[in-house]
Amino acid sequence: MLTKKHGPGANRSFGDSAALFGALDAATAQRLAIAAGDIALVVDETGDILDVAVDADDFPESSDWIGTNWLETVTIESRPKIMEMLAAARKGEAHRWRQVNHPTGDGDLPVRYTMVQIADGRHLALGRDLRDTLRTQQRLLQVQQALERDYMRMRQVEARYRMLFERTREAVLIVEADSHRIREANPAAYRLAGARADNLPGKKLGGLFDNASRDRLTTQLGSALGSDAAAPITVKLAKGGREAEVSATGFSQSRRQYLLLVITPADEGLPRNEEPLAEIVESMPDAFVVADADMRIARANAAFVEMVDAASEEQLSGRSLARLLGRPGIDLELIVGQIEKDGVARNVTSVVRTLSGTSEEPVEISAVTAGEETRHFGFVIRPVARRLREVSTGGEDLPRSVDELTELVGRMPLKDIVRESTDLIERLCIEAALVYTSDNRASAAEILGLSRQSLYSKLNRYGLGKQGEETR
């Protein structure tokens, strides 16, 4: 392929061009022109095409170009480039290669041209077909885009597995197969080993276990490399002499072999005397959640899982409690402050948000803390709205009259009575609007100044939805 440095403007020329090319006949000159490019046009100074030399199969439209101006054979965007080359030719200036596009029935045909003066008023435009080059560039671009998509998917998968690695309650280690040096360890492994953060990588695996267990462990690691079904073994930990079960799996990465170890202490389960307590907490109608010192969820019972619309307790593990409980930066700090002052927080009014953040529910919270080395907080969460309705209505959602509201004095705080009265007024207004419009919900929403969706939500809240449907 001709390049710019090989064009007419190159600094180096033949030493004796007259002796080399002076005796060329017309046929030889034609072959030279065709060899220099895929298409050759003879044009005058105005751009009219006088003759064409080309492979008709590659350029089928070129047969109609003779007698046509060069500008009319290219796209509108390419015409300034043709005009620039013609102007430079008339001035006798050196020519640069310029890419233009010829319109065809199969789309634009890209051609790279340069011009050579061959006689007074006549110029030879030599062109190179760029279709193969552009197709190659397009394939390279597609490959690059595919690689970028694969890279993003790998990053997403890596992030998910990294979160699983960090959040799992079991101690997990990644160990070099040849040296048995620890490459990575999750937080549970640091707690099990009693090591400081980032203190395990580079250390020998055997240092985590007592001397009597190291030979058995070495044998098991060798078996894991040669088999996918190596049985777990029971060993003793160096710290505290606790028994633990170790399972190992071998894998390869970057032409090196590694081992994935999962360590489960034999006393991982709850003591027998704590099992009934755990069952009771799990079955409590009130929500119960345990958070660590950073206010990340460690445990949650079924009531809390249901309250925040989570799929399971595992979905909540490790999440920030502040994103689900209370006003950001206010309620949890207030609760912790009460615990620091009084040892306990009682009946703190707050809200609980669903996992999606689409709704929230008023609640009362009581909380305590336990643990010295590893501090945790326990929260009991009671839905306020449900409790108030149960106390005040005797089976109905809301009080039906002012007299019923006044009967609540002395049975609940004033702020709660005010909240109940607001709900009562809202319900009475909705019922009046439905009566006024003969249960036409669209008209009722209009006269109340509500959207239809908002009205339907309130109908369901006050138990009026089914009533309206039956009437209609």
7-11, 170-174, 403-407, range with greatest mean pLDDT: 170-174
Q: What is the pLDDT of residue 158?
A: 80
Q: What is the pLDDT of residue 389?
A: 47
CATH class label, 168-265? alpha beta
Mean pLDDT in residue range 198-217: 86
Residue 225: C-alpha distances to residues 30, 168, 258 (Å) = 72, 24, 8
Q: What is the pLDDT of residue 402?
A: 63
Per-position DSSP letters for 94-159, written without gaps between them: PP--EEEEEEETTEEEEEEEEEEEEETTEEEEEEEE-HHHHHHHHHHHHHHHHHHHHHHHHHHHHH
Query: Does 168-265 match 4-129 at the fold level?
Result: yes
The band of 468, judged by pLDDT with boundaries at 50, 70 and 90, is: very low
Q: What is the pLDDT of residue 335?
A: 87
Break the chain into its structural domains and give their ranges.
4-129, 168-265, 272-387, 396-471
256 bridge partner residues? 253
110-114, 227-231, 307-311, 339-343, range with greatest mean pLDDT: 110-114
263 bridge partner residues? 171, 246
11-25, 63-77, 305-319, 438-452, range with greatest mean pLDDT: 63-77
pLDDT at 467 over 70: no
pLDDT in tens, 32-46: 666 667 888 889 988
Residue type, 24: L
- Is the model more confident about 325 or about 60? 325
The residue to which tokens 């060329």 are assigned: 24
Q: Is the model's pTM score more than 0.75?
A: no
User: Which overall architecture, per CATH, does domain 272-387 show?
Assistant: 2-Layer Sandwich (3.30)
Span 4-129: which CATH code?
3.30.450.20
Question: Mean pLDDT across the chain, nearest whole number?
Answer: 79
pLDDT in tens, 252-282: 888 889 988 898 887 655 454 555 777 777 7
Q: How far is CA 419 from the centre of its chain?
A: 41
What number of helices (H) and strands (E) belong to the chain? 16, 15
Give the percent of the chain with pLDDT over 90: 6
The band of 469, judged by pLDDT with boundaries at 50, 70 and 90, is: very low
Spatial contact of 352 and 307, defined as CB atoms under 8 Å apart: yes
pLDDT in tens, 48-72: 998 888 877 778 777 788 889 999 9
